[in-house]
Amino acid sequence: MDLPAQIAGLFVALATTALVVGRAATAPAPPPPKHVSVEDRAGFASQIASQEDDWRGKAAKDFPYDTWSQRDAFHGHEATAVKEMARISGVPYEEVLRAIDDDLHRADGNRRRPARNVNAVPVKPRPIFD
């Protein structure tokens, strides 16, 4: 009596696993992203750049004399802005991030705005997290 039960058990285990794997493997993929024009990208980059001084000021106020925390807070503000910008424009986050990066890699852009956090501030997690 046990052998048929064991075979049935094996079948149920395998069938369930196959069902789960199948459903995960065939879950609908996201729709293809919307293309962004060069002008749109330039717009994203300049919008971000125009807010950076404000974010730096807020971060300096929130985390006095703590360079990594200030930088991290800056990026926290930036992430919120990137998400919002992408949501309004209906484009993937990647497009906005690429626009910022392209802007920072343009030599003339850097001459225009000398301090744009393009250096690394080594991570120094706060020993007590709030």
Which residues 95-124 are close enough to bind other proteins by CB under 8 A?
97-98, 100-101, 104-105, 107, 110, 116-124
Backbone dihedral region for residue 12 (phi beyond 0: left; psi -120 to 50: alpha; all else: beta): alpha
Helix (H), strand (E), coil (C) string for 32-100:
CCCCCCHHHHHHHHHHHHHHHHHHHHHHHHHCCCCHHHHHHHHHHHHHHHHHHHHHHHCCCHHHHHHHH
CB of 38 to other proteins, least distance (A): 15
**Nearer to other proteins (CB atom), residue 10 or residue 42:** 10
| Cβ contacts of 100 within 8 Å, gap of 6 or more | 44, 45, 48, 78, 82
**x/- letters, 32..71, toward other proteins (CB under 8 A):** -x-----------------------x--xxxxxxxxxx-x
**x/- letters, 17..36, toward other proteins (CB under 8 A):** x-xxx-xxx-xxxx--x---
Two tokens, residue 90: 């209906």
Contact positions vs other proteins (CB under 8 A): 2, 5-13, 16-17, 19-21, 23-25, 27-30, 33, 57, 60-69, 71-72, 75-76, 78-79, 82-83, 92-94, 97-98, 100-101, 104-105, 107, 110, 116-129
